[in-house]
Amino acid sequence: MKVEALDLRVVQSPPPGTDPQHDRVAPVRTCVGCRRRALIGELLRVVAADGRLIVDERRRLPGRGAWLHPVPDCLAKAERRRAFPRALRVPGSLDAQGVHERLERLAEE
Ligand SMILES: [Zn+2]
């Protein structure tokens, strides 16, 4: 009976509207500044490189990332609590100048 094989194929195919390539976990991260959870789209991804913090604009850089609301308040809180070195597992301090500049540019836009 060919009907049986056909039925099996129907069951195995993904339900409509889902993309198997896509991460199905809700894209939510915790801001290292205010500790509130937010959608990835609302946060900046920050990574450490050569003792500096850089904004990962495309969220594609390898390694650990820290997530931050793109507002000076959250950046200040994160710096005060030394949240970046902790979140990124980097010993010592990190130069946050690049992140400050990025937020200033955002404010101007
Ligand atoms: Zn925040």
d(CA 55, CA 34): 18
Work out the percent of the chain whose per-residue pLDDT is above 90: 71
| Contact of 48 with 88, CB cutoff 8 Å | yes
Distance from the alpha carbon of residue 43 to the mean position of ligand 1, in angstroms: 8
Report percent pLDDT > 70 for the chain. Answer: 78
Write the pLDDT tens digit of every residue in 53-89: 999 999 999 999 999 999 999 999 999 999 999 999 9
CATH code linked to domain 26-108: 3.30.1230.10
Q: Rounded to an integer, what distance in angstroms lies between the CA atom of residue 31 and that of residue 46? A: 11
Query: E strands, 1-109, where?
Result: 28-30, 37-39, 44-49, 52-55, 66-68
CA of 20 to the centre of ligand 1 (A): 31
| 69 alpha carbon – ligand 1 mean position (Å) | 4
**All residues with CB under 5 Å from ion ligand 1:** 31, 33-34, 69, 74
Going from N- to C-terminal start, the domains of the chain cover 26-108
Phi-psi region at 50: left, alpha or beta (left = phi > 0; alpha = psi -120 to 50):
left
CA 34–ligand 1 middle distance (angstroms):
4
> Is 54 strand, coil or helix?
strand
